[in-house]
Amino acid sequence: MVMPIGPLMIEHRLIERMIDVVREELKIVENKNKLDPDFVDRTVDFIRTYADRCHHGKEEDILFRELGGKKLTEKHRHTMEELVEEHRLGRTLTARLVEANTRYREGELDAMSIVTDCMKSLVQFYPRHIEKEDKHFFIPCMDYFSQAEQQALLKEEYEFDRNLIHERYKNIVVTAEKALTSRTL
C-alpha cells in the first residue's frame, strides 16, 4: 500500500532539487555580481505554486486537518504547529524576495543584496524543514490513521493535485482580465 505521505515525500525530492539549483545560482550571482531577475521569478513561481500551494497546501489542508482531530502526543502536536509556522516563514521570505526583485528590476541595484539574502534564507530553510517532516513527523504520524483513513487521505491528495492546475490557470486568466481592465479605463 502507498501511504498518503509517499507523494509528499516525493514532492520533497523535487523541492530539494530546486533548492540545489538556487544554491548554484547564488554562486553565479556572487561571482558575476549580477542578478538574473527572470531566474528569481521562476524560483518564486516554483516556491509559491509547487512548494507552497501544492505541497504545503496538501499538508495543511489535508494531513494537518485530519491530524487535528486525532489525540496527538504533545511532541507531535508541537511539531505540527512548528511546521505550520515554518510554512508562514517560507511565505514571508518569498514575499520579501518578490518585493526586492521588483525593486531590482526597477533599477535599485542595492535590492540585489536583499534578493540574495532571501534566496540564501530559502536555501537554508527548506532542507531543515524537509528533514523535520521526513524524519521526525510524517512517518510516525501515520500511526494515528487506520488503513482506510490512509487511503482516504491519499485519494484526497490526488484530487487536490488534479484540481490545482485548473486553479492556477483560472487565476492567470483572472489576473490578465484585471490587468486588461485597468489598462482600458
Residue that the C-alpha cell 533599477 belongs to: 107
One-letter amino acid at 179 equals A
Residue 23 C-alpha cell reads as 544554491
pLDDT for the residue numbered 184: 78
One-letter amino acid at 82 equals E
Torsion of CA 94, 99, 101, 103, to 10 degrees: -170
Domains of the chain with bracketed CATH: 5-184 (1.20.120.520)
pLDDT digits (tens, 9 = 90+) for 1-59: 567 778 888 999 999 999 999 999 999 999 999 999 999 999 999 999 999 999 999 99
More confident residue, 103 or 161: 103
Query: Is the distance from CB of 40 to CB of 97 less than 8 angstroms?
Result: yes
Residue that the C-alpha cell 498518503 belongs to: 4
pLDDT for the residue numbered 2: 60
Which range, of 23-37, 138-152, 168-182, averages the lowest pLDDT? Answer: 168-182
pLDDT digits (tens, 9 = 90+) for 55-77: 999 999 999 999 999 999 999 99
Query: Is the distance from CB of 47 to CB of 91 less than 8 angstroms?
Result: no
